[in-house]
Amino acid sequence: MHRTIIEDLKKWSKKKDRKPLILQGARQIGKTYILKEFAKQEFERHHYFNFEDAPQLIALFEKDLKTTRIIDDLAAFQGQNIDYKNDIIIFDEIQYCPRAITSLKYFNENLPELALCSAGSLLGLELSPSSYPVGKVETLEMFPMSFYEFINACAEEQLLDSLKKGANDALHAKIWEKLKHYFITGGLPEIVETYVKSEKTLFETFKDIRNKQKDLSKFYIADMAKHAGKANSMHLERLWTNIPSQLAKSQDGSAEKFKLKGQIKGVSGFKQISSALDWLEKARIVFK
């Protein structure tokens, strides 16, 4: 599925003063897919390293942060030479290796010709300020699919053209219907793909979508337990499940703003509750 952020990645790759790139965003929004797709389109070869799937990679950054030594070790790890003048390297789930993030500073200073992309989901939670190479990297923020991208994925070229020019009355009803379907999918690529490729009735399709969304929500909750600790993750889960039910009241005008008070059982302190909301925002799974 086409994502418009690929154009930003292409612009980055053509910069003369290009710095290593960090692509940030929540889990399951398509960061890995888009980086690989971009690499295939713009470079002859790409080298992909995932610090979550292959934690042994972390050891390669422990000895020192000499860039040529790291490149040689990465090449040996994958059994393929790396041409740092023509290839691109992708570091995925880079938050699992803070030393790899720090190394981006040295790649920028010592190997500016190397195209180096990285992706991370929980960078705001996992890193200390000292480990982030301020001024030595570029960042891009990625979000779930936009409505335009959703329409494009549905192969509705006429609707897409109408949206860009300004919808006429004849197409407005169809666009409105698609907008409601977009809201139901939430714009997550896996869910949109289920919607687009489904050959079932709309009712059955939406049932499949809801089941997949429940699985994704469990995945987010598992992340909370993994990265926030057992006690904090309980607060996070209660707040996370409360947000949609509370904001749903806005349909009748009764939810003027989100209320923190009383949302976490047994916790009344505003600071503790608001810190849980801050955690969810840093994980980029909610936006204030």
**pLDDT tens over the chain, length 288 residues:** 889 999 999 999 999 999 999 999 998 899 999 999 999 999 999 999 999 999 999 999 999 999 999 999 999 999 999 998 999 999 999 989 999 999 999 999 999 999 999 998 877 666 555 567 878 999 999 999 999 999 999 988 878 887 777 767 778 888 889 999 999 999 999 999 999 999 999 999 999 999 999 999 998 888 888 888 766 788 888 888 888 877 777 666 666 777 776 666 666 666 667 788 888 888 888 888
Adjacency order of strands within the sheet including 21-24: 46-50, 88-92, 115-120, 21-24, 138-141
Q: Tell me the C-alpha distance between 21 and 141, whole Å.
A: 11
Q: Tell me the C-alpha distance between 283 and 287, whole Å.
A: 10
Which residue type occupies 72? Answer: D
CB–CB of 97/54 below 8 Å? no
φ, ψ at 197 (rounded to 5°): -90, -10
Instruction: Name, in order, each residue with C-beta under 8 angstroms of 233's C-beta and a sequence gap of 6 or more.
Output: 221, 224, 225
Q: Tell me the C-alpha distance between 218 and 215, whole Å.
A: 5
Tokens of 178: 């698609």
Closest CA to 118 of 98, 143, 148: 98
**Buried b or exposed e, range 32-50, using 16+ CB within 10 angstroms:** bebbebbbeebbeebbbbb
CB–CB of 284/121 below 8 Å? yes
Q: Tell me the C-alpha distance between 72 and 70, whole Å.
A: 5
Closest CA to 145 of 98, 182, 96: 182
pLDDT for position 36? 96
pTM comes to 0.86
Pair type for strands 46-50 and 21-24: unpaired
